[in-house]
Amino acid sequence: MNRLVSGVLWLLLYLAVVTLPLLLMLVPPVPTGRGFWLELSVALGFVGLTQIVLQLVLISRFKSLSAPYGIDIILRFHRQIALVAIAFILIHPVLIIVDTPARVKLLNPLGGTWASRTAWISLFCLAGLAVTSLFRLRLGLTYERWRLLHLILAGGAIIFALLHVVMAGLYTNTLWKHAVWVLPGGALVLLVLYTRLIKPGFFPDSVWRVAEVRPERGNCVTLVLEPDGHEGMSFAPGQFVWITLGDRKITMQENPFSIRSSAARPARLEFGIKKMGDFTENLPHVKPGTRAVLQGPHGAFSIDRYPAVGYVFIAGGIGVTPLMSFLHTMADRRDPRPVILVYADKTLEDMAFQEELAELESRLDLEVVYVPEKAGEDWQGETGFVTWDILERHVPKDLIHREFFLCGPGPMMASLHKALKAAGVHQDHIHLELFELV
Please write the tens of the pLDDT for every residue from 288-318.
999 998 988 888 889 998 989 999 999 999 9
Fold of 303-434: Rossmann fold (3.40.50)
Rounded-to-integer distance, Cα 339 and Cα 330, Å: 10
pLDDT at site 146:
85
pLDDT at site 437:
54
Decide if pLDDT at 167 tops 90. Answer: no
Decide if pLDDT at 435 tops 70. Answer: no
pLDDT at site 404:
94
Decide if pLDDT at 139 tops 80. Answer: yes
Does the domain at 206-298 match CATH 2.40.30.10? Answer given as yes
pLDDT at site 436:
58
Rounded-to-integer distance, Cα 161 and Cα 56, Å: 14
Helix, coil or strand: residue 342:
strand
* Amino acid identity, position 6: S
Q: What is the pTM of this model?
A: 0.78
Count of C-beta atoms within a 10 Å radius of residue 124: 15
Identify the burial level of 353 via C-beta atoms within 10 angstroms of its C-beta, where 0-12 means exposed, 13-18 middle and 19 or more buried. Answer: buried
pLDDT at site 204:
67
Helix, coil or strand: residue 68:
coil
Q: How much is the average pLDDT of 249-265?
A: 83
Decide the pairing of beta strands 240-245 and 291-298: antiparallel
Rounded-to-integer distance, Cα 252 and Cα 149, Å: 10
Asked if residue 115 lies in contact with residue 172, where contact means CB atoms within 8 angstroms, the answer is: no
Q: How much is the average pLDDT of 405-417?
A: 91
Count of C-beta atoms within a 10 Å radius of residue 275: 17
pLDDT at site 203:
66
Domain ranges of the chain: 3-202, 206-298, 303-434
Q: Give the tens place of pLDDT for each residue, 265-295.
A: 999 999 998 887 667 778 888 899 999 989 8
**Average pLDDT in the chain:** 85
Nearest CA among 306, 310, 298, 313 for reference residue 338: 310
Rounded-to-integer distance, Cα 275 and Cα 288, Å: 19
* Amino acid identity, position 343: Y
Q: How much is the average pLDDT of 144-158?
A: 85
Q: Do the first three CATH levels of 206-298 and 303-434 match, i.e. the same topology?
A: no
